């Protein structure tokens, strides 16, 4: 197990608790000391954890999860994303394709390959908490962040990849998580969904790290500008957290919308990425 990832995972839980506190007491403008007290740490230890997690002070980190910051990011991303989609194979998308190899199958196609598929699965740690991962020869097929819902996650995994031969190997999964989050190695993904869902998930891969966009912009990017609600539904059906970056899609106003793994986690992932990018 990577101690670095385990430490980051534990820090994520502390940061999440702090952000929930800030959300609930936003109008009171809590001080650093008050936030640290809520998570049972000294302000010095609390500040150190933040710096170990993202490399900046708590106040700078908190600035990166505000609505105002999200709006600025949305505006800054708009022109970049428009040029990306218009050019097709822009420098942005080419760079991402070098990092992510994406294979999509429809439910009908999976009927013919599912019975012969072997999936290694297990649990490990990521910077965003305990993580469940499913891995095939063609690539990662499932990744979810766990809170206290491991049983439900596993049931959904079984339902999504029926008939596959399953092998639990936590050591192998921990190694793969390290490759993703520490070594930053190129990865392959295998997704199952309708053609529409697959097109939406592919579009998400074109959103660069540290940037955000809206559901409407994603709909436009797949030449279906009236399908905003369908796009939102497809994004909500994504079973590969972080790597298919549905967390980079926010509301038209800059507000955070529903996220399978929790709004607090979405905000932390966005802040983590924006600061890491700098």
Asked if residue 11 has pLDDT above 70, the reply is yes
| Domain finish residue from 63, 98, 114 | 63
Distance CA 128, CA 131 (A): 8
Per-residue pLDDT, averaged over 104-126, amounts to 84
Owning domain of residue 142: 68-277
Residues 185 and 263 in one domain: yes
User: Quick one: pLDDT at residue 203?
Assistant: 92
Query: pLDDT tens across 58-100, in order?
Result: 777 766 666 666 666 666 666 555 555 544 434 444 334 445 6
pLDDT at 6 over 90: no
Both 18 and 76 in a single domain? no
120: part of which helix (H) or strand (E)?
strand 118-126
Q: Which segment of 40-44, 83-87, 203-207, 256-260 scores lowest on mean pLDDT? A: 83-87
- Which residues are annotated as catalytic? 246
pLDDT for 174 beyond 50: yes
- Reported as a single tens digit per residue, the pLDDT across 20-66 is 887 777 767 788 899 999 999 999 999 888 777 766 677 777 666 66
- Rounded to 10 degrees, what is the CA torsion of 5, 9, 14, 16? 130
Asked whether residue 13 falls in the same domain as residue 87, the answer is no
Assess whether 200 and 226 both reside in one domain.
yes
For residues 14 and 119, state if they share a domain: no
Please give the tally of structural domains in the chain: 2
Residues 37 and 85 in one domain: no
Residue-wise pLDDT for 133-148, tens only, equals 999 999 999 999 998 8
Question: 223 versus 97: which is more confidently predicted?
Answer: 223
Query: pTM of the full predicted structure?
Result: 0.80
How far apart are alpha carbons 46 and 235 in whole angstroms? 34
* Domain shared by 257 and 195, yes or no: yes
When pLDDT is averaged across residues 250-274 and rounded to a whole number, the result is: 83
Do 29 and 72 share a structural domain? no
Are residues 79 and 37 both part of a single domain? no
Domain limit, last residue, from 41, 63, 85: 63
Residue 98 sits in the same domain as residue 54: no
pLDDT for 1 beyond 70: no
Question: Is the domain of 194 the same as that of 102?
Answer: yes
CB-neighbour burial class of residue 156 (10 A; exposed 0-12, middle 13-18, buried 19+)? middle
d(CA 37, CA 21): 11
Domain limit, last residue, from 42, 63, 84: 63
One domain for residues 89 and 211:
yes
CATH of the domain at 36: 1.10.10.60
Pick the more confident residue, 216 or 83: 216
- Asked if residue 235 has pLDDT above 80, the reply is yes
Instruction: Provide the pLDDT for residue 49.
Output: 85
CATH number at residue 216: 1.10.10.10
Tell me what percent of the residues of the chain surpass a pLDDT of 90.
44
């Amino acid at each position: 197990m990577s101690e670095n990832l385990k430490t980051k995972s534990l820090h994520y839980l502390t940061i999440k608790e702090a952000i929930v506190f800030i959300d609930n007491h936003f109008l009171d403008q809590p001080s650093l000391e008050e936030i640290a007290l809520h998570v049972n740490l000294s302000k010095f230890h609390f500040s150190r954890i933040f710096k170990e997690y993202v490399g900046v002070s708590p106040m700078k980190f908190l600035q990166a999860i505000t609505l105002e910051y999200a709006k600025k990011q949305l505006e800054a991303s708009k022109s970049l994303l428009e040029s990306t989609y218009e050019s097709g194979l822009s420098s942005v998308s080419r760079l991402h394709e070098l990092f992510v190899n994406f294979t999509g199958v429809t439910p009908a196609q999976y009927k013919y390959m599912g019975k012969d598929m072997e999936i290694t699965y297990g649990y490990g740690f990521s910077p965003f908490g305990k993580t469940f991962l499913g891995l095939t020869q063609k690539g990662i097929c499932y990744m979810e962040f766990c809170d206290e819902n491991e049983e439900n996650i596993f049931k959904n995994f079984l339902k999504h990849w029926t008939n596959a031969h399953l092998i639990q190997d936590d050591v192998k999964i921990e190694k793969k998580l390290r490759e993703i989050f520490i070594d930053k190695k190129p990865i392959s993904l295998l997704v199952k969904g309708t053609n529409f869902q697959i097109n939406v998930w592919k579009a998400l891969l074109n959103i660069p790290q540290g940037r955000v966009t809206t559901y409407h912009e994603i709909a436009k990017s797949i030449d279906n500008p009236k399908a905003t609600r369908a796009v939102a539904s497809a994004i909500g059906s994504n079973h590969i957290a972080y790597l298919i970056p549905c967390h980079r899609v926010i509301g038209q106003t800059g507000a955070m919308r529903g996220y399978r793994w929790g709004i607090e986690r979405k905000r932390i992932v966005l802040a983590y990425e924006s600061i890491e990018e700098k």
